[in-house]
Amino acid sequence: MKLEYPMRLQTYLAKSGCGSRRGCEQLITGGRVKVNTNVVTELGTKVERADVVTLDEQMVEPSEHTYYFALYKPKGFVCTNYDPYEKLYARDLIDVPDRNLLFHIGRLDKESTGLILFTNDGNVANRIMHPSMQIEKEYLVNVDEDLRREDLEEALKGIYIDIPEPYKIKSFYIQSKRWAKIILTEGKNREIRKIFSYFGYDVKQLVRTRIGCIELDNLKIGEYRRVDPKEIEDLLAGENSEGVPDDRRH
């Protein structure tokens, strides 16, 4: 991607791998960003190529290269890029020179495994995460007792747990007594775990297998691959590949 100056500060940060555009706006308003040693909290501030920008006293610089990676996150790894209480970071599994520029698109909790996307493209990340895109996320869920179809049918309608908005699944497919395929389009914090806990289940395994048209495919746990820009285009165009038989899908 060609860098053009002057550039909005939140765009500069996003292209430097500091997070999505919205996340970078929060960094600015939170007083964590300096331009030429001066704290800047005003959104829309423009920076020039020669300006020195720091986040938490660490200099950041944008890259003209755009990266997209798909990672099969193992259990025990966190998606955040920094947490003083954690040692295992998912991003560290991506062994490339510009790894420090990457940030995750969405997240998986520490105990969950599966597909997570990383990029340094803040605009694309923001579009993928925006609720209006309605991008499907597919999960395999294993619970501690036999599944009851009526519970999942209730989750299709939406259930209220701890926030004013309902937790809701788009569709489900019961694969066996204790395994189900669940599809979401929003992805609230720990949504699947909260839904199953609401009905009295304990989630034993939670694996995300697909985000839109991008799938785990042949990746093994801990492995990653580059995602072709055409795959990102298809993802943003809404091209999904659900693959659930019509006669068994709900």
Token duo for residue 68: 């997209």
Q: How confident is the model at residue 240 (pLDDT cuts 50, 70, 90)?
A: low
Q: 22 is in which domain, residue-wise? A: 7-59
Output b/e per residue, 195-206; b: 16+ Cβ within 10 A: bbebbebebebb
Is the pLDDT assigned to residue 7 strictly greater than 90?
A: yes
Q: What is the pLDDT of residue 51?
A: 95
Q: What is the pLDDT of residue 247?
A: 35
Residues 132 and 34 in one domain: no
User: Active-site residues: which are they?
Assistant: 109
For residues 37-61, average pLDDT: 94
Which CATH number do you get for residue 162? 3.30.2350.10
CB of 5 within 8 A of CB of 48?
yes
Does residue 144 sit within a domain?
Answer: yes
Is the pLDDT assigned to residue 83 strictly greater than 60?
A: yes
Q: Number of structural domains, the chain?
A: 2
Q: How confident is the model at residue 250 (pLDDT cuts 50, 70, 90)?
A: low
Is the pLDDT assigned to residue 140 strictly greater than 90?
A: yes
Q: 11-15, 72-76, 166-170: which range is least confident on average?
A: 11-15
Which CATH number do you get for residue 41? 3.10.290.10
Instruction: Read off the amino acid at residue 135.
Output: I
The string of pLDDT tens digits covering residues 96-134 is: 988 888 989 988 999 999 999 999 888 888 889 888 899
Highest mean pLDDT among 18-27, 49-58, 238-247: 49-58
For residue 250, give every residue at least 6 positions away whose Cβ sits within 8 Å of its Cβ, in sequence order, or none: 149, 152, 153, 156, 171, 172, 173
